[in-house]
Homo-oligomer: A and B are copies of this chain.
Amino acid sequence: MRELFQKQLEQLHTLLIEMGALCEQVIERTYLVLMAEDKKAAAEIMEKDEIIDMKEREIEDLCLKILLQQQPVASDLRRVSAALKMITDMERIGDQASDIAEIIKTSNLKAPAKEIRLNEMAKATMQMVKESIDSFVKQDLEIAQKVIKDDDIVDNLFLDVRGQIASGLTDDLVSREEQLDLLMIAKYYERIGDHATNIAEWVEFSILGQHVEEE
């Protein structure tokens, strides 16, 4: 019984790493699409988002199976319930990457994105997602807490981008409709930052055994 349990936990760990890697990949591709380096990456994002959705179901089923068969306690229970929560955030990251791809694939927003530093925002978010997954894989509290702190950077970048669009910085580059698209893309990145933060908070919970409330 204990042996099966260990095997199931390892399987869960592997699946989460796979799902996390997919999240990293889709975010990275949004950047490539945004910077017009790779237009066909948009289609790949949609495909990978579907795989992310399937992984979520698979992990959910495994977690429920573990809960029912093994009735884990203490740190094992925390690990399984943290997994159940994390996958919701990972799934949303996939969705939001798809939303970004959907907006960009028809228009060329590279120049205005650079002008308002949306490219920097994309990079900062990419980093956060990467590190949140990393903190889980390595069960590393320090990395998790860095991610939680970095969310402020992305939040501030969002306000910058918004201010720059409002001030008319992109007026000569793109239509007003496209300016609103830029704002939406920025908002999606900001949300992705929130989800990376949530993942890091679940890692923290799983290690420390409690939710750490923000001041």
Contacts and interface: CB of A to CB of B under 8 A. Distances in A.
A207 B184 CA distance: 36
Contact of A184 (B57, B67, B77, B187): B187
30 contacts: A57-B211, A60-B81, A64-B67, A64-B77, A64-B81, A67-B68, A68-B71, A68-B77, A71-B71, A84-B84, A85-B88, A88-B88, A162-B177, A162-B180, A163-B177, A165-B176, A165-B180, A166-B175, A166-B176, A166-B177, A166-B179, A166-B180, A167-B176, A168-B176, A180-B180, A180-B183, A183-B183, A183-B184, A184-B187, A187-B187
A18 to B, nearest CB: 21
A162 B175 CA distance: 13
A183 B165 CA distance: 13
Interface in A62-92: 64, 67-68, 71, 77, 81, 84-85, 88
Interface string A170-186: 00000111011001100
A180 B161 CA distance: 11
Query: Looking at chain A, what size class is its interface with the partner chain?
Result: 20 to 34
A211 B64 CA distance: 16
Contacts of A167: 176
Given A165-B180, A168-B176, 11 more contacts: A60-B81, A64-B81, A67-B68, A68-B71, A162-B180, A165-B176, A166-B176, A166-B177, A166-B180, A167-B176, A180-B180
Interface string A145-179: 00000000000000000110111100000011101
Contacts of A64: 67, 77, 81
A183 B180 CA distance: 8
A68 B78 CA distance: 13
A179 B162 CA distance: 11
Contacts of A162: 177, 180
Nearest to A163: B177
Contacts of A177: 162-163, 166
Interface in A106-136: none
